[in-house]
Structure 1
Amino acid sequence: MRRFKTQLLVVLARLYIVTSQSCPDYSTYSKTRHEPFSPGRYALSSARPPPSCRTFNSSALESLLSSFSANITDPDLLRLFQNTYPNTLDTAIKWHGFSSANPSEEELTFIITGDINAMWLRDSANQLQSYLPLLTPSSSPNSLASLFRGAINLHARYLLTSPFCNSFQPPPESGLAPSPNPASDSDVVFPPYDPDKVFECKYELDSLASFLQLSTEYHEATHDSGFFGKFSWVEAVKAVLATARSMTTPTYSPLDGKPLDSPYTFTRKTTRSTETLPNDGLGHPVAAGTGLIRSAFRPSDDSTTYQFLIPSNMLFCRYLASASLIATAINQTTLAGEMMEFSASLRQAIQTHGVASVPGDNGTVERVYAYEVDGFGSSLLQDDANLPSLLSAPLMGYLAPTDPVYLATRKRVLSIKNPYYAAGGVIRGVGSAHTGPGRVWPMSLIVQILTSDDDEEIRGAIKQILGSTDGLGLVHEGVDGWDGSRWTREWFGWANGLFGGMMIDVMRRKEGLLRESFQ
């Protein structure tokens, strides 16, 4: 009976996943224009796949899209919202079902990034974050709540399998074959991993934080504490804590100065320096006694210069504290205490070692957050478009948007003092070493909007994003600041969802702006 029940539940769940061979490959579909075009100057494509080819259907989503159509005046802006906000549900829920292990009620959700057929912990958490305005408590397997629970459960499984890794293969229950990653063929990674389970094993602190973020956001939206007492959430949190604590290990012993073994190393044969770590996979040295957590790679999947990556430490600090409330709610008081204590010490470490003094205007000295530090006194004064970023610090809830150090940092980040800021004629904003100088990531302009209360700044950023899709009506990864026809990634679920979430936020805070024309 139990076996029959399990099989029935899996079949029911898979009814919501498209398997029709007639559906177009979305990587190809999203690179071409489809009628009807929006009746504005940009004539944006209709980029949603046909209803029968969408990977998850939500009546709440469709209702929201319908209600917004009466509130957005500009036809191109409306089309961009209609294309982008549903993108993850329309195209990236690769599989949603149940665990084959007992108990059979454990939901699992495998979410791809878009054009890369693997599940990143960071991306999937942020892709679902876009749908928090629609999330309500539900036990139905055909609900957004079930998608969230399934993603949390799968994150937990991944973290218990390979806690240093960042992106993963589909679970065996899905019946989907693992995807090869040619870039990882020459990897030398410690600890080793199973390529049938792991797509890539770049240790990124924000991956650990993303599991805590996703857990917190589901809990705050549904108050479903009981869910976290089931399955393997507690064990996964303990694995996260152990991994993060291990990565506070400095390069040299504070007792005798000898080099210490690192819990994680990574080398790869590559022509890109950001795809590997120096010093035979150890990375650049970091000092002892800072209290900060190392990150070998950034949210962009590029290697860090100095391993104490401040935005990722901020994200981990913030969500470690909020996830401790879940542990308290399920009577894991000792664990909750450890989480709160670690978070508090990490916040102190960020404020002590993550703030740098820089020349300000008129001979003054300003205090700003560094992007990376090494604890020896070196700091990297830049920002990257990928989240978490310094620009996104108030968005992640680490600090208030009026924090004076943040405001000085924000001003610097959104200027040519940031090495990866491109002041293009088509689009201007923060880019990334991942795509090189001169490429602006629309994601950075979305974050700029979400962290601003200035109507003119918001209006200008929306206009630039609107004109940067090359007529395809989707938010790309990076766009040439001077040539909008040159861009990367036609199908980037996270950026699309972030734009949709931003539009909902602007509707809440600045409704009048959405009634303006951007023609």
Structure 2
Amino acid sequence: MKLDLNDLTVKIDAFAAKQTLSTDETTTLFRHLLSDAVAKATNAEADGTFFVKTGDIPAMWLRDATFQVLPYVKLMSVIPELKTVLVGVLRRELRYIQHDPYANAFNQTASGAHWSDDESDQPISDLVWERKFEIDSLCAPLFLALKLIEQTDQVDFLDAEFWQTLALIMTVLETEQHHEQSTYYFKRVDCPANDTLTNDGKGTPVGYTGMVWDGFRPSDNACEYGYHVPSNLFLIAVLTRLSPFIPNELGDLKDRVTTLVAAIQQGITRYALVTLPTGQVGYAYEVDGLGHQKLMDDANVPSLLALPFIGYTTIEDVIYQNTREFILSAQNPYYYRGKVLAGIGSNHTPEAYVWPISLAMEGLTSTDQTVKVAQLEKIATTDNQTGQCHESVSVDDVSQYTRDWFSWANMTYCELALDVLGV
């Protein structure tokens, strides 16, 4: 029987209506937003998959879609029908990767719609909205699969299609360990410098490190140095946890995963562990294997702030705590403090604009319940009476923000609210 998304929305809203948070503002916002991704962003497709648009842009980002539906994983025990949606989103992500593993965002149909007229090493498909290579786009479906396993102890969706897609992902990752030999390039004209790759579309030069080269950050802006550390740590986290589920008959695939994880970890240890401006040892944000390091953090996930959330390390880990101290300070060039807000922003948005996603992630990566509640309350002050968590908000004036509807931000707020509620 076909799942009715309207009925599902009613059930999600009914669950939300029973929940009470610390203030009227946080409670009202949570009750308004919990069904956001299903009610407004999700469409059921004829093949049984589900398309999830990012919000006020009509395309589906692999990364965004995973984090948009992630809070629903926790609700499957009370609303079992959600599993159909979650597995259906996963299936669509896998099929998009099979179509073009270098693309980050896709159209609902082969409409030929694109963000821009870009040049790449192969013609950009009519199904592809944007062909920016981002490691996190390949990690996101694997992360969703692992969360489903963690919640249900079921692995029925780890079928031939899943493992075939993982094999394709591995081929791309192995290729991009040696980016100088890869054919991939990306060029966009008439755009900000951080929206295209330098060096004739190949990006700044890199040396071999064992890590995987990344064209663009999770913000969709170009990497300054080619090895994006949070994304490589995301790879270690998802591949390590997924490896035990690889069937025995796919021993070669398991060996490839083991080899890649070991090489990335070796590269992290040698190149990405640095002395921070605080004098402590922590993680760089980007490196190039040629002696250059970028010390910062960006609001978009995966980030250094989010390392415990994505499963790479624990909150208590000393290196993580050292890194956290640095990135949540003025020494991080994208940490902003103003009259009403303080937090991490991005070069994707104006200077001195903080992202509610990063505010939520501060709470999600804290063990202190008072911090979690405080972050939830802080985010609720940024909606400017729109009932929305925006992409970014001015640190001095919450009436100044970017994007009217950004579903990823909405659902990360809900993720934190469910954490506070103990769901």
Normalising by the residue count of structure 2, what TM-score does the alignment of the two structures yield? Answer: 0.94
* RMSD between superposed Cα atoms in Å: 2.1
1:119 is aligned to 60
| 1:285 positional shift | 0.5
1:235 is aligned to 164
Separation of aligned partners in 2, 1:459 and 1:220: 25
Residue 72 (structure 2) pairs with residue 154 (structure 1): no
Picking from 173, 184, 208, the partner of 1:264 is 184
Separation of aligned partners in 2, 1:453 and 1:227: 33
Picking from 128, 140, 144, the partner of 1:214 is 144
Separation of aligned partners in 2, 1:121 and 1:350: 25
Q: Which runs of 5+ in 2 are unaligned?
A: none
Work out whether residues 306 and 374 of structure 1, in 8 Å CA contact, stay in contact via their aligned partners in 2: yes
- Give runs of aligned pairs for residues 121-270 of structure 1, distance below 5 A: 121-136=62-77, 143-171=81-109, 178=111, 180-181=113-114, 183-185=115-117, 187-194=118-125, 196-230=126-160, 232-251=161-180, 261-270=181-190
Residue 231 (structure 2) pairs with residue 299 (structure 1): no
Separation of aligned partners in 2, 1:458 and 1:225: 32
Separation of aligned partners in 2, 1:168 and 1:429: 31
CA spacing shift, 1:359–1:439, aligned 2, 3 Å = closer
2:276 is aligned to 358
1:379 is aligned to 293
| 1:359 positional shift | 3.7
Render the CA deviation track for 1:109-149: whole Å, top value 9, x for unaligned: 111011111111101111111111112599x9xx2111122
| 1:224 positional shift | 3.0
Q: Which amino acid aligns with 2:175?
A: S
Q: Which amino acid aligns with 1:508?
A: G
Separation of aligned partners in 2, 1:400 and 1:411: 15
Separation of aligned partners in 1, 2:91 and 2:78: 17
Work out whether residues 137 and 145 of structure 1, in 8 Å CA contact, stay in contact via their aligned partners in 2: no
| 1:64 positional shift | 2.5
Separation of aligned partners in 1, 2:403 and 2:294: 28
Picking from 285, 290, 314, the partner of 1:400 is 314
1:432 is aligned to 346
SS in 2 for 1:315: helix
Picking from 211, 227, 244, the partner of 1:325 is 244
SS in 1 for 2:375: helix
Deviates more, 1:470-479 or 1:219-228: 219-228
Residue 400 (structure 2) pairs with residue 481 (structure 1): no
CA spacing shift, 1:219–1:460, aligned 2, 3 Å = closer
CA spacing shift, 1:88–1:189, aligned 2, 3 Å = same
Separation of aligned partners in 2, 1:386 and 1:72: 26
| 1:306 positional shift | 0.3
| 1:157 positional shift | 1.3
Picking from 2, 18, 35, the partner of 1:86 is 35
| 1:425 positional shift | 1.1
Q: Which amino acid aligns with 1:86?
A: S
Identity between Structure 1 and Structure 2 (%): 31
1:30 is aligned to none
| 1:85 positional shift | 1.9
Work out whether residues 191 and 263 of structure 1, in 8 Å CA contact, stay in contact via their aligned partners in 2: no
Work out whether residues 276 and 326 of structure 2, in 8 Å CA contact, stay in contact via their aligned partners in 1: no
Work out whether residues 17 and 31 of structure 2, in 8 Å CA contact, stay in contact via their aligned partners in 1: no
SS in 1 for 2:315: coil
Work out whether residues 136 and 145 of structure 1, in 8 Å CA contact, stay in contact via their aligned partners in 2: no
CA spacing shift, 1:348–1:66, aligned 2, 3 Å = same
Work out whether residues 73 and 86 of structure 2, in 8 Å CA contact, stay in contact via their aligned partners in 1: no
| 1:179 positional shift | 6.6
| 1:66 positional shift | 2.8
Residue 230 (structure 2) pairs with residue 311 (structure 1): yes
SS in 2 for 1:376: coil
2:367 is aligned to 453
1:506 is aligned to 420
Q: Which amino acid aligns with 2:98?
A: L
1:61 is aligned to 12
| 1:507 positional shift | 2.0
SS in 2 for 1:199: strand
| 1:461 positional shift | 2.5
CA spacing shift, 1:62–1:446, aligned 2, 3 Å = same
| 1:156 positional shift | 1.6
Work out whether residues 160 and 236 of structure 1, in 8 Å CA contact, stay in contact via their aligned partners in 2: yes
Separation of aligned partners in 1, 2:12 and 2:178: 45
Work out whether residues 51 and 92 of structure 2, in 8 Å CA contact, stay in contact via their aligned partners in 1: yes
Work out whether residues 13 and 31 of structure 2, in 8 Å CA contact, stay in contact via their aligned partners in 1: no
SS in 2 for 1:484: coil
Separation of aligned partners in 2, 1:218 and 1:370: 31
Residue 21 (structure 2) pairs with residue 72 (structure 1): yes
Work out whether residues 229 and 285 of structure 2, in 8 Å CA contact, stay in contact via their aligned partners in 1: yes
CA spacing shift, 1:203–1:74, aligned 2, 3 Å = same
Render the CA deviation track for 1:275-323: whole Å, top value 9, x for unaligned: 11111101001002x1000110011100000010000001111111222
Work out whether residues 324 and 337 of structure 1, in 8 Å CA contact, stay in contact via their aligned partners in 2: no
Picking from 157, 181, 203, the partner of 1:283 is 203
Work out whether residues 367 and 405 of structure 1, in 8 Å CA contact, stay in contact via their aligned partners in 2: yes
Separation of aligned partners in 2, 1:413 and 1:349: 22
| 1:59 positional shift | 5.8
Separation of aligned partners in 1, 2:291 and 2:317: 24
Work out whether residues 111 and 119 of structure 1, in 8 Å CA contact, stay in contact via their aligned partners in 2: yes
1:37 is aligned to none
SS in 1 for 2:276: strand
Separation of aligned partners in 1, 2:258 and 2:307: 19
| 1:427 positional shift | 1.2
SS in 2 for 1:422: strand
Work out whether residues 165 and 203 of structure 1, in 8 Å CA contact, stay in contact via their aligned partners in 2: yes
